[in-house]
Every structure is written in structure tokens, then in C-alpha cells.
A and B are shown apart, each in its own frame.
Chain A
Amino acid sequence: MLRFQGGDARAFEVLVRRHRTPVFSFLVRLTGDRARAEDLCQETFLRVVRSADGWEPRSRFQTWLYAIARNQAVDDARRRALRRAEPLDGSPGSELPSDDPAPDRSAEAALLRPVLEAALASLPDEQREVFLLREYAGLRFHEIADVTSTPENTVKSRMRYALEALRERLLAAGVGPGADAPPRSAIP
């Protein structure tokens, strides 16, 4: 990012290659809408380009990046709510990218994925947001507190609820500790 601030456009290319997929994953799972997530991801990186001068090396780039992405998603949800469109807390499960080409993962993971996506999609927004930022984006709890403007203790409480809820739903779907793959009945 420093190099990009200094005028090196190729450095931004590296940033895009490095962070685009994690940010896109976060937005897809946060909004439950792949098309919206694409737009939001694009807008997030364009905002990075426009606001590059505002980034300071002392703050972690990832925190800054996810704060932009999350704010984009929240603003978009508000706009849609005003237009009586589907709000952010709609039921996103049906629009999850289940037909995405699976990456090179184990077969068990491929089988688990729809169950996990559904369990994740069933979480309340604020819990899903915290869970995604901690588990997949790798932000620390205090950084999530910064990004979401929420006290750190509240962030941790949401994380505990999210983990408990996920565990219950996965167990209800037949996925539990020691299970290598969900029962066939759980696979849509």
C-alpha cells in the first residue's frame, strides 16, 4: 500500500490479487447476494484507490479495507431499505453461490460447504458480520470493534452467540465433531 501511495500502480495490482477474493467472500456471505457482493467489492477497491492518501501505515491495511467494505454493505442495505427493496437482513440462504466452482479442497469440505453456508446464513446480521470478520478476514476482536463501532465486549458476546448457534445448527444437520461428512440427507 505504501508503494501504491508513492505512485506504483503495480503495487495496487498486488493488493487486488491478494485481497479481492477474501473481501468478496466476506461480502457474499454478509449480503447473501452474489451480484450485490460483486458491485460492493468493486466499489470497495475503487474507494481504496480514491482514498489511498488517507491510509496511514500505522493502521493495519486489512482493518481499513474491511471497514470500507462493511460500510459499503451497510450503506447499500440502507439504500435498498429506503427503496423498499430487500434489506440486508433478508434471507440470503437461497442466493448463496452454491454453484461456484469449488476450489481445490477435500471432498468432505465440498460436501460440508452447503451445510455451513446455510448455517452461516441463518445467523443474525450482527453475529454473522463479527463471525466473518474474525474467522475468515482474520481481524482481531479489537479491530472488529473499530470496524463496526461496537464495544469489544459486545463483539466477543456476538462471537460467542454465533459460535453456539453455528454449532447447534450443524449438529441439527448431522454435522458434528468427529463427523467427516454430513449425512446425505443434509445435502440439498
Chain B
Amino acid sequence: MTHEAVRDKLLDLAYGELSRREARPVEEHAAACDACRAELERIRETRKLVSALPPVEAPERGENVLLAAARERARLREPRWRVPRWLLGASVAAASLVVVAAVSYRIIAMRPGPLGKSEHDALLGEARPGQEAARAQPQAPAVAASPAKPDEPKGRAAAAPTPPAPRLAPEERVKAHERGAAEGATERELAEPFRDDRGEAPRSPPSRAGGGMGTGAGIPRGDTGPRPLPRTGGGEGQGQGIRQPFAEPPPAAAASAPPAAVRSETFAKRLAPEAPAAKATAREEAADAAVAEVPRAQAPPERDASRVRAAPAAPVAKGAPSRAAAKAPSPALDSEQFGYAGRLADRGEAQADDPVARWQALRASGKLTAEVRTFSGCPPDGPYDPHHFRESFRKLERDLQGRLVRYEMRGTIEGGPFEAEGFYDAAGVLRVERWTDGGKVSERRHPAAGPSRTRFPARASGATIDAPGVCDN
């Protein structure tokens, strides 16, 4: 630090406006520089002299007028507060009822019901072949359209197209369950196969079988809904969890590749502008693969039973269903993995002028570093001025280039808690403030030149984690 720079800081040092980190080099220079040391000493001596000047006591008269004006204002405000508080209470109560009702409905819907005779027989493998075939046929398009379809390992259930089967093999029971998932079976129906498979070690709960937890009884299990199954590979989990005990041929690439393609397609959609072409190609390949298996359906070792059943519908399903299935995970990924910033990026919107979006995008991509500091307390209150504003927590988030993106503060204002966050643009100017205090949430946006008055450092250059915690009177 140069001599001139230190001289500029001597006043700040004498009045305690420097953080410890900022004060150290100034003090070190002043200790070695006669001129600076002398000036610092002069400032401190003068301060000591003038501190002897006591405050001039204000006269008592006039205070009653002030208090009367304050009471009048408070009286005028009273009616305006009663209605919002009442409305607030009613709103909270109504919202609570809705939440309780929704949760209760879900819980009731998840409870398994009594097992019907025919279902019991079917699940035990005693269903008549005709019934089994009749159930299998209408499901084909839905199965073909399902993104979970590629999960199913090839080369199993070679006998599936063969109508009569005195008793369903264990894997067929699994398929019965999967069919249920595809055609809109109820939770009860889906739960039953697992009751009978007591010898199987990992009993996958219904929730893994296609997001059934979120589906009420009798609600069709369409695959275009925003359920998490397609996007998270729930189909994979289901398939593996159930099939492993039967020592089936490992799903290997056939089981995992299509979901990966779906994921890569979804990522590519957002992360690379040229990705749509590749995505379309991937979808076409997936669709083609589905159709290409139709002729091979006659080759038992390579077939998937569900696909065999889907064979008659496959030509129809070649285009639309498979594309719909491939597209289905996208919205869920957009909203849950990338959030607001992801959607912005998806639309190609620039975030340069929106510091909040800039922060969200950086956070979503993991390109933020954070510094956190807490402050244990403030010095004792002065005789006239108890502390009005106390900062207890500070967090600074910067991008990988070290530029400040977000500044967070917490503490108390007149004894009540507050939380505040400030967002800085790429030029280091505070552009957005959000405050939660006194039960109010407010946001203030500043022009490109920055704010005129703020609790935050108006410029990123003035923000440091080392600055002392604010204890204002």
C-alpha cells in the first residue's frame, strides 16, 4: 500500500471504519512512517479533546406535542391493521385445511384394498390363458409408448407369445405388474404381486413401480404426466430390483441405454444450441429400434415379452408414441433440475441484465464460491442509542472469476429478525435488494448506476467478508 493510499485511510482508521484486514496494512505503514504516524496521532488527540464536549440537553417542552401526534397517527393506523391480520389468519387456516385434505387423500389412496378372487388367481398364475391374452392385447400401445420399455431386458419371457401357460412364471407376475403400470392399474392391483412373492428378497414397493405413490386409485398411468418415473430412471430401478432374484440375463446396455439417451437429449437440449439435431436423431433411433424389434419378435431368445405383445401396435406406434415417450421426461427435468435459470437458458434468454437470474444460473451450474461469517454480538449500547441494527450473519457468493454475485445478511432490526440479500450485476453494481423483515418481504431494483442509499455495499468492490458486523445505533 502506497504512502498516499495510507494517508487517505488514516481518517477511516481513526474513526474505526476499517475492517481488521483493511486496518492492518495501514497500521503497519503508520508504524514505520513518521509522517503518517504523526498525522494519525494528531487526529486521535483532537478527537480526545473534542470528546469532552457533552450533548446539549433538549428541553422537555414540546415533547407532549410530539407524543400526541404519534398517538394520533397510531390511532389512525389501527383499523387498517385489523383486516389484514384477520384475513391472514383465515388464509393460513384455509391453506392448512387444503394441505391436510390432500395428504389424507394420498394416504387413503395408497392403502391396499381386499384382493378379488380373479385377481388372486391371476396373480398366482391360475388365470386362464385367454384372460391373460385378452389383458395383454390392449396394453400393447401403452407399453410401446412407455419410456420404461427399454428398461426391460431382452431375451426373457421367450414363451410369452405362446398362449397357454398353466401358471405364470415369477417373471410373468412381474410383467403383470408392469402391465398394470402401463394400462392404469390401481395401486391395489399393483401391490398384490409383491404380496405373493414372499420368497423374493427385494420387494420393491409400489412407489417404485412407475411413480405409483403419486397416483390415486383408478387413475390411469399415462406416461406423459409430470411424474418423476421416466426422468429419474425409476423404470430401471423397478426392473432391476425385481428381476435380479430370477437370475435373468442382465439388462446391460439394452436396459440402460435408452434412458441415458433421453437424459442426454434433455441435457443437450439446454446445454448446446446444436443439440436439437442430435436429439432428433437419438429419438428417431429409439423409435426405429422399437420398430426394428417387431420382426425379431419371432426370435425367442432376443425378445422382450412386453414388446412381443406390443408387436401388432408397433407400426402405429413408430412415430408418435415413441417420441411422446422420449419427450415426456423433459419438462420434469427442466423444472426440477435446472429451475428458473434452466428454463431461461432453455429459451436462450440473456441473464446479463438480471442479476438474480445470473446468480441462479451460476448456482445451478455449480459455479459459485461462498464465504460465510457470523458475528456474535455488538458492543454495549450507548447511553442514548441502543443498537438499532445488528448483523449476525453474512454470506458472500462469488463466481469463479471472483466477482461478487450475491450478498446475504441476517440479524435483527429493533429486536426483530431480518434476512436480506443483494444481487450484483457483472459490473459489480448492486441492482436488486430483497428484504424480509417485520413480517414483510420487499424487493427493490436499482438502476445501472447503483443505489443511492442502501445497507449493502453499493459496489462489489466495497464488499468484504472481513468487515466488522454492523451494530448501528
Q: Which residues of A contact B (CB under 8 A)?
A: 1-9, 12-13, 16, 18-25, 28-29, 34, 37-38, 41-42, 45-46, 49-50, 52, 56-63, 97, 100-103, 105-106, 108-109, 112-113, 116-117, 120, 134-136, 138, 140-141, 146, 156, 159-160, 163-164, 166-167, 170, 175-177
Contacting residue for A175 out of B49, B71, B74, B389, CB 8 A: B49
Closest A residue by C-beta to B57 = A21
A–B Cβ pairs within 8 angstroms, 13 of them = A9-B67, A22-B384, A24-B58, A24-B59, A58-B455, A61-B472, A102-B54, A103-B54, A109-B52, A112-B53, A138-B473, A163-B42, A166-B50
Closest A residue by C-beta to B62 = A42
Contact (Cβ within 8 A) B385 A22: yes
Please, which residues of chain B bring their CB within 8 A of the CB of A136?
53, 55
Q: Contacts A2-B413, A7-B81 hold; do A57 and B435 have CB atoms under 8 A apart?
A: yes
Q: Contacts A58-B435, A116-B49 hold; do A38 and B414 have CB atoms under 8 A apart?
A: no
Please, which residues of chain A bring their CB within 8 A of the CB of B438?
2, 5-6, 57
Residues of A contacting B: mostly: helix
Contact (Cβ within 8 A) A24 B56: yes
Closest A residue by C-beta to B11 = A156
Contact (Cβ within 8 A) A113 B418: no
Contact (Cβ within 8 A) A103 B388: no
Contacting residue for B56 out of A28, A42, A112, A170, CB 8 A: A28
B340: min CB distance to chain A, Å: 25
Cα A45 to Cα B64 with chains together (Å): 12
Contact (Cβ within 8 A) A13 B11: no
A183: min CB distance to chain B, Å: 15
Cα A173 to Cα B437 with chains together (Å): 51
Contacting residue for A3 out of B48, B57, B414, CB 8 A: B414
Please, which residues of chain A bring their CB within 8 A of the CB of B454?
58-59
Please, which residues of chain B bring their CB within 8 A of the CB of A46?
65-66, 69
Please, which residues of chain A bring their CB within 8 A of the CB of B53?
109, 112-113, 116-117, 120, 136
B432: min CB distance to chain A, Å: 13
Contact (Cβ within 8 A) A38 B62: yes
Contacting residue for A60 out of B11, B78, B444, B472, CB 8 A: B472
Cα A59 to Cα B389 with chains together (Å): 9
Contacting residue for A103 out of B17, B55, B418, CB 8 A: B55
Cα A154 to Cα B157 with chains together (Å): 87
Residues of B contacting A: mostly: mixed
Contact (Cβ within 8 A) B384 A105: no
Cα A16 to Cα B81 with chains together (Å): 24
Cα A136 to Cα B473 with chains together (Å): 12
Contacting residue for A2 out of B15, B416, B453, CB 8 A: B416
B434: min CB distance to chain A, Å: 10
Contacting residue for A20 out of B45, B58, B69, CB 8 A: B58
Contact (Cβ within 8 A) B57 A100: yes
A148: min CB distance to chain B, Å: 13
Closest A residue by C-beta to B14 = A163
Q: Contacts A2-B416, A38-B62 hold; do A62 and B385 have CB atoms under 8 A apart?
A: yes
Contact (Cβ within 8 A) B67 A135: no
B335: min CB distance to chain A, Å: 32
Closest A residue by C-beta to B442 = A56
Q: Contacts A2-B438, A159-B11 hold; do A113 and B73 have CB atoms under 8 A apart?
A: no
Please, which residues of chain A bring their CB within 8 A of the CB of B444?
58
Please, which residues of chain B bring their CB within 8 A of the CB of A52?
73
Please, which residues of chain A bring their CB within 8 A of the CB of B389?
60
Interface residues of B in 419-461 (CB under 8 A from A): 420, 433, 435, 437-438, 442, 444, 452-455
Q: How many B residues touch A, CB cutoff 8 Å?
A: 58
B442: min CB distance to chain A, Å: 8
Contacting residue for B66 out of A42, A156, A164, CB 8 A: A42
Contact (Cβ within 8 A) A49 B73: yes
Q: Contacts A8-B74, A13-B70, A42-B65 hold; do A58 and B388 have CB atoms under 8 A apart?
A: no
B226 within 8 A of A: no
Contact (Cβ within 8 A) A21 B58: yes
Cα A167 to Cα B12 with chains together (Å): 18
Please, which residues of chain B bring their CB within 8 A of the CB of A50?
73
Residue of B49, B78, B385, B442 with most partner-chain A CB within 10 A: B49
Please, which residues of chain B bring their CB within 8 A of the CB of A177?
45, 48-49
Additional A-B contact list (8), CB under 8 Å, known A57-B437, A109-B52: A2-B414, A7-B77, A9-B75, A12-B74, A29-B56, A45-B66, A60-B389, A120-B53
Q: Give a binary string over B15-29; 1 marks a CB under 8 Å from any A CB, 0 the rest.
A: 101000000000000
Contact (Cβ within 8 A) A57 B413: yes
Q: Give a binary string over B300-340; 1 marks a CB under 8 Å from any A CB, 0 the rest.
A: 00000000000000000000000000000000000000000
Please, which residues of chain B bring their CB within 8 A of the CB of A175?
49
B63 within 8 A of A: yes
Cα A118 to Cα B62 with chains together (Å): 28
Closest A residue by C-beta to B385 = A18
Contacting residue for B384 out of A21, A29, A59, A164, CB 8 A: A21
Cα A21 to Cα B52 with chains together (Å): 16
Interface residues of B in 67-121 (CB under 8 A from A): 67, 69-71, 73-75, 77-78, 81
B182: min CB distance to chain A, Å: 56
Please, which residues of chain A bring their CB within 8 A of the CB of B47?
135, 163
Contacting residue for B67 out of A8, A12, A61, A103, CB 8 A: A12
Cα A175 to Cα B472 with chains together (Å): 32
Please, which residues of chain A bring their CB within 8 A of the CB of B384?
18-19, 21-22
Residue of A16, A28, A49 with most partner-chain B CB within 10 A: A49
Contact (Cβ within 8 A) B420 A166: no
Q: Contacts A9-B71, A60-B472 hold; do A135 and B50 have CB atoms under 8 A apart?
A: yes
Contacting residue for B418 out of A22, A57, A97, CB 8 A: A57
